[in-house]
Amino acid sequence: MSQQTKAKLILKDGSEYIGTSFGYEDSIAGEMVFNTAMTGYPESLTDPSYKGQILVSTFPLIGNYGVPGTLQEDDLFRFYESEKIQVSAFVVSDYTEEFSHWNASLSLADWMKQHKIPGIYGVDTRALTKKLREQGSMLAKIVFEGNDPEWKDPNLENLVAQVSTPEKIVYGNGKHKVLLLDCGVKNNIIRCLLKRDTTVIRVPHDYDFTNEEYDGLFISNGPGDPKQNIAAIKNLQKVFNKDIPIMGICLGTQLMALAAGADTYKLKYGHRSHNQPVVSQGTKRCFITSQNHGYAINHDTLPKEWEPLFINANDNTCEGIKHVSKPFFASQFHPEASSGPTDTEFLFDDFIEMMVKHQR
């Protein structure tokens, strides 16, 4: 590892930070966001919802348990959320090359080099996080000597098209047929569905699912501005006329809201952590959730047929929606969280129960 190679982290507001390289040594530009999780960097780095983003970890020690191998189960990587690293770059306070874990197969630095992802450490991530909390997510770039890239706002691109499957894929052979619209789906969502006796049919983000036969429709998480996904929104509007159960997660929630006629907006710095409290609007019970999203639903714009399902206890943002009479619901957080709390995995059971009732 080239521990002595220096690189600059430059933010759009003009501030600069000097760090030491521990990944692939190439300049990159993107949007800088922070994550407050204390563990789970293999899962976070492979989460398609981070596409185009430079990720700052607030936890100071990164790399100490290395990176797991590429074991596959059900044609999915067992320890990752997708087949590759999705972030544009990784910024940490302190990186250690000496890792120790029973399941580790290589160092984080070697893994990032394999995927050509830059990383720097020795940066004051506390100061960075305070800046992002005060000013909001901002454009940034990591610059190695002799190569200063142009600023790049990934939210102007259709990021979902970059992370969605290009073709139909079928998993499992269960009795409940679920059509999964892949907007950047995390592997553990598919695992959670498969262990509930389903056949999961994964289709591209712009796939016309309006005339397909299935017991339930699932709209996945994904990156970027939900309003970019015009085809998915139009197709959802068509199936809302039916009574087939629909469940959405993260971006899927925003797409369902837009299809219903509500509006979405960009959060100041997003929700990216394992410890976001949400309150069920029916029971007033509070759940601790894992989240990764930069956009939210303006629940004041929901039409009368829809209502909030969960509200964030920190900032009162909408964390889920449901239809008042049809079997449609969605959570802004991740009930399948890996790594992270699984307090709300019961939502998958609710989805299965809706399909069972619909089949009767």
In sign, the C-alpha dihedral spanning 262, 265, 270, 272 is positive
Report whether pLDDT(2) > 70: no
Residue with structure tokens 């979405």? 264
Q: pLDDT band for position 359 (50/70/90)? A: confident
**% of the chain at pLDDT higher than 70:** 99
SS3 category, 355: helix
pLDDT computed for residue 301 by the predictor? 98
Catalytic one of 25, 81, 319, 336: 336
Which residue type occupies 270? Answer: G
Catalytic one of 176, 274, 299, 334: 334
Q: pLDDT band for position 332 (50/70/90)? A: very high
Q: pLDDT band for position 3 (50/70/90)? A: low
Average pLDDT estimate for 254-264: 98
pLDDT computed for residue 55 by the predictor? 97
Question: pLDDT of 125-169, one tens digit each?
Answer: 999 999 999 999 999 999 999 899 999 999 999 999 999 999 999
Question: pLDDT of 199-213, one tens digit each?
Answer: 999 999 999 999 999
Active site residue 299: no
Give residue 186's region: left, alpha or beta (phi > 0; psi -120 to 50). beta
Q: pLDDT band for position 1 (50/70/90)? A: very low
**42, 67 contact by CB (below 8 A):** yes
SS3 category, 233: helix
Question: pLDDT of 214-256, one tens digit each?
Answer: 999 999 999 999 999 999 999 999 999 999 999 999 999 999 9
Q: pLDDT band for position 4 (50/70/90)? A: confident
Distance of CA 252 to the CA centre of its chain: 11
Exposure b/e, 167-179, CB count within 10 A at least 16 = b: eeeebbebebbbb
Report whether pLDDT(318) > 80: yes
d(CA 284, CA 21): 47
d(CA 152, CA 139): 7
Active site residue 183: no
**Count of C-beta atoms within a 10 Å radius of residue 33:** 21
Catalytic one of 250, 271, 274, 319: 250
Going along the chain from its start, the domains and CATH numbers come out as 6-156 (3.50.30.20), 159-359 (3.40.50.880)
Question: pLDDT of 22-69, one tens digit each?
Answer: 999 999 999 999 999 988 999 999 999 999 999 999 998 899 999 998
pLDDT computed for residue 85 by the predictor? 98
Contacts of 74 (CB under 8 A, 6+ apart): 171, 172, 190, 191, 194
The residue with greater pLDDT, 360 or 241, is 241
Q: β-pairing, 6-11 with 138-143?
A: antiparallel
| pTM, two decimal places | 0.96
Average pLDDT estimate for 11-30: 96
Packing angle of the helix pair 251-260, 230-239 (nearest 10 deg): 60
Question: pLDDT of 68-119, one tens digit each?
Answer: 988 888 889 999 999 999 999 999 999 999 999 999 999 999 999 999 999 9
